Amino acid sequence: MALEGVAECLGGEVHLAYAQRPVSGVVTVAAGFSPDAAMTRAELRATAMDALYRIPDGVARPCSGDDGRELCLADFMPEPPADRRSSVAGVGLLSRERYLLPAEVVWMGERDCRVEPTVVGVVDDRPDGASGAIADLLAHDVVTRWWASPRMPLLRVSEHLERLIPESVASAVSALGLWVSAFVLPGPDFQIAVVGVSGEGTTIATAAARSVKAAVGEAFLRAVAARAQPWNTLPVADSLRRLTVWHREADYLAYLERSAVDADPSVADEPVTRDGALGWADLASRRFGHEPVLVSFGAFDDPVKVVCPGAACYRTVPPGTTLPCPVP
Protein backbone atom coordinates (compact mmCIF):
# COMPACT_ATOMS: atom_id res chain seq x y z
CA MET A 1 0.00 0.00 0.00
CA ALA A 2 1.29 3.50 -0.85
CA LEU A 3 1.89 5.83 2.10
CA GLU A 4 1.16 9.53 1.61
CA GLY A 5 0.15 12.73 3.36
CA VAL A 6 0.15 16.54 3.17
CA ALA A 7 1.41 19.10 5.69
CA GLU A 8 1.39 22.88 5.78
CA CYS A 9 4.57 24.96 5.91
CA LEU A 10 5.44 28.66 5.77
CA GLY A 11 2.40 29.51 7.87
CA GLY A 12 0.09 27.43 5.70
CA GLU A 13 0.97 29.35 2.52
CA VAL A 14 2.85 26.39 1.01
CA HIS A 15 1.99 22.69 1.25
CA LEU A 16 4.39 19.76 1.43
CA ALA A 17 3.22 16.36 0.20
CA TYR A 18 4.88 13.07 1.12
CA ALA A 19 4.56 9.86 -0.87
CA GLN A 20 6.26 6.51 -0.32
CA ARG A 21 6.22 3.28 -2.25
CA PRO A 22 6.89 0.44 0.23
CA VAL A 23 8.15 -2.17 -2.24
CA SER A 24 11.08 -0.09 -3.54
CA GLY A 25 11.29 2.15 -0.47
CA VAL A 26 11.07 5.28 -2.65
CA VAL A 27 10.23 8.43 -0.68
CA THR A 28 9.32 11.67 -2.46
CA VAL A 29 8.49 15.12 -1.13
CA ALA A 30 6.88 17.79 -3.30
CA ALA A 31 5.82 21.37 -2.57
CA GLY A 32 2.89 23.30 -3.98
CA PHE A 33 0.89 26.44 -3.42
CA SER A 34 -2.15 24.19 -2.88
CA PRO A 35 -2.44 20.78 -1.19
CA ASP A 36 -3.83 19.15 -4.34
CA ALA A 37 -0.97 20.40 -6.52
CA ALA A 38 1.62 19.17 -4.03
CA MET A 39 -0.03 15.77 -3.59
CA THR A 40 -0.45 15.19 -7.31
CA ARG A 41 3.21 15.90 -7.94
CA ALA A 42 4.41 13.75 -5.04
CA GLU A 43 2.29 10.79 -6.18
CA LEU A 44 3.37 11.03 -9.81
CA ARG A 45 7.02 11.38 -8.86
CA ALA A 46 6.83 8.46 -6.42
CA THR A 47 5.22 6.24 -9.04
CA ALA A 48 7.84 7.16 -11.64
CA MET A 49 10.75 6.76 -9.22
CA ASP A 50 9.38 3.42 -8.02
CA ALA A 51 9.42 2.13 -11.60
CA LEU A 52 12.94 3.48 -12.18
CA TYR A 53 14.29 1.83 -9.04
CA ARG A 54 12.82 -1.51 -10.04
CA ILE A 55 14.14 -1.74 -13.60
CA PRO A 56 15.57 -5.26 -13.80
CA ASP A 57 19.35 -5.32 -13.65
CA GLY A 58 19.41 -8.15 -16.13
CA VAL A 59 20.72 -9.45 -19.41
CA ALA A 60 21.10 -7.24 -22.44
CA ARG A 61 18.20 -7.04 -24.84
CA PRO A 62 19.34 -7.83 -28.37
CA CYS A 63 18.92 -4.99 -30.82
CA SER A 64 17.20 -5.79 -34.10
CA GLY A 65 15.47 -3.76 -36.72
CA ASP A 66 12.20 -4.18 -34.83
CA ASP A 67 13.64 -2.96 -31.51
CA GLY A 68 14.65 0.45 -32.80
CA ARG A 69 17.80 2.52 -32.93
CA GLU A 70 20.35 1.66 -30.25
CA LEU A 71 22.13 4.37 -28.26
CA CYS A 72 25.13 3.70 -26.02
CA LEU A 73 26.78 5.52 -23.11
CA ALA A 74 29.15 7.29 -25.51
CA ASP A 75 26.11 9.10 -26.91
CA PHE A 76 25.38 10.55 -23.46
CA MET A 77 28.76 11.37 -21.91
CA PRO A 78 32.44 11.82 -22.75
CA GLU A 79 34.83 9.04 -21.75
CA PRO A 80 32.07 6.69 -20.61
CA PRO A 81 32.63 3.48 -18.67
CA ALA A 82 31.99 0.21 -20.47
CA ASP A 83 28.32 -0.42 -21.19
CA ARG A 84 26.69 -3.08 -19.06
CA ARG A 85 24.61 -4.07 -22.09
CA SER A 86 21.32 -3.75 -20.22
CA SER A 87 18.85 -1.77 -22.32
CA VAL A 88 15.61 0.10 -21.79
CA ALA A 89 13.11 0.94 -24.53
CA GLY A 90 12.09 4.50 -25.33
CA VAL A 91 10.42 6.57 -28.03
CA GLY A 92 11.60 9.81 -29.64
CA LEU A 93 9.31 12.72 -28.81
CA LEU A 94 9.69 14.32 -32.24
CA SER A 95 10.18 11.44 -34.66
CA ARG A 96 8.26 8.80 -32.65
CA GLU A 97 11.22 6.56 -33.55
CA ARG A 98 11.86 3.63 -31.22
CA TYR A 99 15.13 3.55 -29.26
CA LEU A 100 17.07 1.19 -27.05
CA LEU A 101 18.82 3.17 -24.31
CA PRO A 102 21.60 2.16 -21.90
CA ALA A 103 19.86 1.39 -18.61
CA GLU A 104 22.55 3.33 -16.72
CA VAL A 105 21.10 6.69 -17.84
CA VAL A 106 17.54 5.68 -16.92
CA TRP A 107 17.50 3.67 -13.71
CA MET A 108 17.86 4.92 -10.17
CA GLY A 109 19.34 3.44 -7.02
CA GLU A 110 22.77 2.22 -6.06
CA ARG A 111 23.93 -0.38 -8.57
CA ASP A 112 27.23 -1.79 -9.73
CA CYS A 113 27.77 1.05 -12.18
CA ARG A 114 30.05 4.08 -12.32
CA VAL A 115 27.40 6.29 -13.91
CA GLU A 116 25.93 8.66 -11.33
CA PRO A 117 22.14 8.10 -11.17
CA THR A 118 20.18 11.28 -11.86
CA VAL A 119 16.63 12.31 -11.04
CA VAL A 120 16.75 14.99 -13.75
CA GLY A 121 13.96 14.41 -16.27
CA VAL A 122 11.71 12.33 -14.01
CA VAL A 123 8.07 12.87 -14.98
CA ASP A 124 6.12 14.43 -12.10
CA ASP A 125 3.51 16.70 -13.62
CA ARG A 126 0.23 16.71 -15.55
CA PRO A 127 -1.19 16.93 -18.15
CA ASP A 128 1.92 16.89 -20.33
CA GLY A 129 4.51 15.51 -17.96
CA ALA A 130 7.01 15.02 -20.77
CA SER A 131 7.23 18.78 -21.39
CA GLY A 132 7.96 19.42 -17.72
CA ALA A 133 10.66 16.73 -17.75
CA ILE A 134 12.28 18.31 -20.83
CA ALA A 135 12.22 21.71 -19.13
CA ASP A 136 13.96 20.06 -16.17
CA LEU A 137 16.69 18.71 -18.48
CA LEU A 138 17.21 22.13 -20.06
CA ALA A 139 17.39 23.93 -16.71
CA HIS A 140 19.95 21.56 -15.22
CA ASP A 141 22.01 21.52 -18.41
CA VAL A 142 22.21 25.31 -18.65
CA VAL A 143 23.01 25.81 -14.94
CA THR A 144 25.58 22.98 -14.88
CA ARG A 145 27.42 24.45 -17.86
CA TRP A 146 27.14 28.01 -16.53
CA TRP A 147 28.54 26.93 -13.16
CA ALA A 148 31.59 25.43 -14.86
CA SER A 149 32.10 28.50 -17.09
CA PRO A 150 30.00 31.57 -16.15
CA ARG A 151 30.31 33.52 -19.36
CA MET A 152 27.18 35.59 -18.80
CA PRO A 153 25.89 37.28 -15.63
CA LEU A 154 22.88 36.07 -13.74
CA LEU A 155 19.99 38.50 -13.42
CA ARG A 156 19.27 39.13 -9.73
CA VAL A 157 15.50 39.18 -9.14
CA SER A 158 15.41 38.73 -5.35
CA GLU A 159 14.11 42.29 -4.83
CA HIS A 160 11.09 41.50 -7.03
CA LEU A 161 10.15 38.29 -5.22
CA GLU A 162 6.69 39.51 -4.18
CA ARG A 163 5.81 39.85 -7.87
CA LEU A 164 7.19 36.41 -8.76
CA ILE A 165 5.64 34.22 -6.04
CA PRO A 166 2.37 34.84 -4.16
CA GLU A 167 2.79 37.90 -1.94
CA SER A 168 1.50 36.02 1.11
CA VAL A 169 4.20 33.37 0.58
CA ALA A 170 6.95 35.98 0.35
CA SER A 171 5.68 37.57 3.57
CA ALA A 172 5.61 34.20 5.36
CA VAL A 173 9.19 33.48 4.31
CA SER A 174 10.37 36.76 5.84
CA ALA A 175 8.29 36.32 9.01
CA LEU A 176 9.89 32.93 9.67
CA GLY A 177 13.42 34.33 9.44
CA LEU A 178 14.19 32.70 6.10
CA TRP A 179 15.37 34.50 3.01
CA VAL A 180 15.20 33.75 -0.69
CA SER A 181 17.89 34.50 -3.26
CA ALA A 182 16.49 34.39 -6.79
CA PHE A 183 18.39 34.69 -10.08
CA VAL A 184 17.53 34.20 -13.74
CA LEU A 185 19.51 33.08 -16.78
CA PRO A 186 17.64 34.25 -19.89
CA GLY A 187 17.38 31.73 -22.70
CA PRO A 188 15.85 31.60 -26.18
CA ASP A 189 12.10 31.00 -25.77
CA PHE A 190 12.49 30.10 -22.09
CA GLN A 191 13.83 31.43 -18.80
CA ILE A 192 15.89 29.56 -16.20
CA ALA A 193 15.66 30.39 -12.51
CA VAL A 194 18.15 29.55 -9.76
CA VAL A 195 16.61 29.94 -6.31
CA GLY A 196 18.17 29.45 -2.88
CA VAL A 197 16.10 29.20 0.32
CA SER A 198 18.33 29.99 3.29
CA GLY A 199 18.22 29.91 7.06
CA GLU A 200 20.07 27.25 9.06
CA GLY A 201 21.38 25.81 5.81
CA THR A 202 20.61 26.54 2.17
CA THR A 203 18.92 24.49 -0.51
CA ILE A 204 19.31 25.58 -4.12
CA ALA A 205 17.10 24.49 -7.01
CA THR A 206 16.63 25.38 -10.65
CA ALA A 207 13.72 25.33 -13.09
CA ALA A 208 12.94 26.37 -16.65
CA ALA A 209 9.68 27.91 -17.83
CA ARG A 210 8.35 30.23 -20.50
CA SER A 211 8.33 33.24 -18.16
CA VAL A 212 10.52 34.49 -15.32
CA LYS A 213 7.58 34.31 -12.91
CA ALA A 214 6.81 30.68 -13.69
CA ALA A 215 10.48 29.66 -13.54
CA VAL A 216 11.12 31.38 -10.21
CA GLY A 217 7.93 29.97 -8.70
CA GLU A 218 8.83 26.43 -9.72
CA ALA A 219 12.45 26.71 -8.55
CA PHE A 220 11.27 28.14 -5.22
CA LEU A 221 8.91 25.19 -4.65
CA ARG A 222 11.68 22.74 -5.52
CA ALA A 223 14.06 24.40 -3.06
CA VAL A 224 11.41 24.25 -0.32
CA ALA A 225 10.73 20.57 -1.04
CA ALA A 226 14.47 19.83 -0.96
CA ARG A 227 14.64 21.17 2.61
CA ALA A 228 12.06 18.60 3.68
CA GLN A 229 13.40 15.61 1.70
CA PRO A 230 15.20 13.13 4.01
CA TRP A 231 18.80 12.93 2.78
CA ASN A 232 18.97 9.18 3.38
CA THR A 233 16.34 8.73 0.65
CA LEU A 234 18.53 10.40 -2.00
CA PRO A 235 21.19 8.86 -4.23
CA VAL A 236 24.59 9.12 -2.53
CA ALA A 237 25.99 11.72 -4.96
CA ASP A 238 22.93 13.95 -4.57
CA SER A 239 22.96 13.77 -0.77
CA LEU A 240 26.68 14.66 -0.72
CA ARG A 241 26.03 17.60 -3.02
CA ARG A 242 23.26 18.90 -0.78
CA LEU A 243 25.41 18.41 2.30
CA THR A 244 28.17 20.51 0.72
CA VAL A 245 25.72 23.31 -0.11
CA TRP A 246 24.22 23.09 3.37
CA HIS A 247 27.55 23.52 5.14
CA ARG A 248 28.97 26.12 2.75
CA GLU A 249 25.89 28.20 2.18
CA ALA A 250 27.76 31.51 2.60
CA ASP A 251 30.24 30.53 -0.13
CA TYR A 252 27.50 29.47 -2.52
CA LEU A 253 25.38 32.57 -1.97
CA ALA A 254 28.44 34.82 -2.30
CA TYR A 255 29.37 33.11 -5.58
CA LEU A 256 25.88 33.68 -6.97
CA GLU A 257 25.79 37.29 -5.81
CA ARG A 258 29.22 38.03 -7.34
CA SER A 259 28.04 36.60 -10.64
CA ALA A 260 24.80 38.59 -10.74
CA VAL A 261 23.58 41.98 -11.90
CA ASP A 262 20.30 43.60 -10.91
CA ALA A 263 17.45 42.82 -13.26
CA ASP A 264 15.15 45.49 -14.63
CA PRO A 265 11.80 45.43 -12.75
CA SER A 266 10.00 44.78 -16.04
CA VAL A 267 11.50 41.28 -16.15
CA ALA A 268 8.61 40.06 -14.00
CA ASP A 269 6.06 41.23 -16.58
CA GLU A 270 7.31 39.26 -19.58
CA PRO A 271 4.66 37.27 -21.47
CA VAL A 272 4.49 33.52 -20.90
CA THR A 273 4.85 32.70 -24.59
CA ARG A 274 5.44 34.55 -27.81
CA ASP A 275 4.21 33.88 -31.31
CA GLY A 276 6.16 31.14 -33.07
CA ALA A 277 7.79 29.82 -29.91
CA LEU A 278 9.21 26.31 -30.28
CA GLY A 279 7.81 23.41 -28.25
CA TRP A 280 9.91 21.95 -25.42
CA ALA A 281 10.96 18.90 -27.46
CA ASP A 282 12.09 21.16 -30.32
CA LEU A 283 14.01 23.38 -27.89
CA ALA A 284 15.84 20.37 -26.46
CA SER A 285 16.60 18.99 -29.92
CA ARG A 286 18.04 22.34 -31.01
CA ARG A 287 20.20 22.64 -27.87
CA PHE A 288 21.43 19.05 -27.61
CA GLY A 289 21.50 18.03 -31.26
CA HIS A 290 19.24 15.07 -30.55
CA GLU A 291 15.56 14.66 -29.83
CA PRO A 292 14.53 13.83 -26.25
CA VAL A 293 13.49 10.23 -25.65
CA LEU A 294 10.57 9.23 -23.42
CA VAL A 295 10.75 6.07 -21.30
CA SER A 296 7.49 4.46 -20.14
CA PHE A 297 6.69 1.56 -17.82
CA GLY A 298 3.74 -0.06 -16.11
CA ALA A 299 0.47 -1.66 -17.05
CA PHE A 300 -0.77 1.61 -18.58
CA ASP A 301 2.55 2.46 -20.20
CA ASP A 302 2.98 5.44 -17.87
CA PRO A 303 5.73 7.93 -18.82
CA VAL A 304 8.42 7.94 -16.12
CA LYS A 305 11.51 9.71 -17.47
CA VAL A 306 12.84 11.75 -20.37
CA VAL A 307 16.51 11.41 -21.36
CA CYS A 308 18.48 13.19 -24.06
CA PRO A 309 21.99 12.61 -25.42
CA GLY A 310 24.07 15.75 -25.00
CA ALA A 311 22.54 16.94 -21.72
CA ALA A 312 25.09 17.62 -18.98
CA CYS A 313 23.35 15.62 -16.23
CA TYR A 314 24.86 12.27 -17.27
CA ARG A 315 28.30 11.77 -15.79
CA THR A 316 30.58 9.11 -14.41
CA VAL A 317 31.75 10.78 -11.19
CA PRO A 318 30.57 13.69 -9.02
CA PRO A 319 32.40 16.97 -9.67
CA GLY A 320 35.52 17.45 -7.56
CA THR A 321 35.70 21.25 -7.53
CA THR A 322 35.80 23.35 -4.37
CA LEU A 323 32.20 24.44 -4.89
CA PRO A 324 30.52 21.70 -6.93
CA CYS A 325 27.45 22.72 -8.92
CA PRO A 326 24.53 22.64 -6.46
CA VAL A 327 22.18 20.98 -8.94
CA PRO A 328 22.79 17.55 -10.53
Q: Report pLDDT digits (tens) over 279-297.
A: 999 999 999 999 999 999 8
pLDDT of residue 319: 57
The pTM of this model reads 0.92
CB 89 within 8 A of CB 68: yes
pLDDT of residue 225: 96
pLDDT of residue 232: 82
User: Nearest CA to 175 among 6, 7, 13?
Assistant: 13
pLDDT of residue 19: 94
pLDDT of residue 112: 65
User: Nearest CA to 136 among 152, 114, 119?
Assistant: 119
The parts of the chain modelled with pLDDT lower than 50 are 1, 58-60, 62-65
Cα 104 from chain centroid (whole Å)? 18
pLDDT of residue 58: 46
pLDDT of residue 60: 42
pLDDT of residue 136: 97
pLDDT of residue 108: 85
CB 107 within 8 A of CB 118: no
User: Nearest CA to 26 among 15, 37, 42, 7?
Assistant: 42
Q: Is 235 exposed, middle or buried (0-12, 13-18, 19+ CB in 10 A)?
A: middle
pLDDT of residue 94: 97
